[in-house]
Structure 1
Amino acid sequence: MPAKAQINQVESISSTQVFFNTNEPDGSSQGRPSGRRGTGSRGDCPSVEMPLEALIPNNRSGLVIEENPTLWFYIPFKSNQVSAGEFSLQDEEKNDVMRTSFPVPTQPGIFSLKLKTAKPLEINKTYTWYFKLYCQNNSTSKSSIPSFVSGSLKRVAPDVKLEQQLKAATTPRAKIAAYAQNGIWYTALSELALLRIAEPQNTTFQQDWQNLLAYAGLKYLANKPIFGELKIEQQNASNFPIR
């Protein structure tokens, strides 16, 4: 394809709504009921109108191209309701790649957590993550049952098509459209969330955000405030009950 045609193709993408195109061979993520709640648990945390959610597709899996990607979560609790938070990441052999604690937000909303691993995530490897909130005062108690969600991610290398689209893209939104249309969920979501934070009144970004969350069955979270990154306090935390 001539370079001019490539640019016109990407610019056409950037002028339309961002939509997600699954990159799974069998399209298994489409049409399924959400599995985020079914595999999660409210634990000892109080009942809330909207539960703890991970911003991931219905199959609880997604692709990423970054060495240390960012995940996004909707936390429905206030800081006076949660005593501690823990995140862990495991490789295919169930070995801990990362285990850390983080401070609890003061108010409900959408937050991110950037993975900080000793080594970059390996390409074509699948990792499983767990995001837990402990709501009892004594977070180390063996009887404490966390509210949690879990999912997986796989790091992939950009193919030729995606590399060409990214090279031709002249705006951040064009890059997001390229990620989304090539099935790179975590990267597309994170880049779009940062645009929403930078320009919260931008109606185009608002519509893109609604479209992307609608694909994942999370459109009801589209109007929730986005607060940004959870600050990691402690790596390799050992004071949490492992479940």
Structure 2
Amino acid sequence: MHADVLIYTGDPELFLLLEYILEAEGFPVRLCVHESELLAAIRAEEPLAVLADCSDSRPGEFSLCRRIGEAGGDSIPVAALTNASRAEFSRDTPAVDAVICSPYDPRRLLDFLEGIRANLPNDRRSGAAPEQIYRHADIELSVPSVRVTRSGHAVYLSALQFRLLLHLMRMPAVVHSRDDLIAACWPREAEVEPRTVDIHIGHVRRALNRFGPDVIRTVRSVGYALDALNQPF
């Protein structure tokens, strides 16, 4: 899968947060957990940018960012995410185009990416996210606005729960196994038990059921699908 932004981190929660924010703004992302995987993806895909989790690095210890620059021919912008204070860094840090300090401000991150995209040739610009709205029964899910409504009521879901519902709504008649849902909605390196899927599907079901009958069908020993609601005559 081609991604505009490669995210290098071993922190699943950080990846899920960044994925939620960036994909809603039209930046496809992909997680790279191992350095070799990241460098290979840079050479093969020529991504828009790389976000490198340097939260465990001290100021000046950006050897990974230098290797990223070498793999991309110094043409791939790199943002380093760090827990250090902003005063310890400067924009002139070698091999780093932006330093984003914790607590991470999504506006600063998006400004960095939008600035890169605005300077691309027209044929490389991703542009704004296409309008992707999925509807099933009385449920509407908007990908660009990361919003779910049911019968006109806002349904509040976490980032993970939103992805689970999106996966179901893309192919509502298909019975999705727990392994399929794990592969589609969790980072590749995350260790997820089938029971964890059941718990999160339960959260999605309760959120939807506040405004209508149960639409998630459990197929025993297989997985989950969406049911059509009976329409009144």
TM-score interval (norm. to shorter): under 0.3
Structure number, greater radius of gyration:
2
TM-score scaled by structure 2? 0.25
Higher helix share: 2
What is the TM-score normalised by the length of structure 1? 0.25
Larger RCO, structures 1/2 (Cα 8 Å, 6+ apart): 1
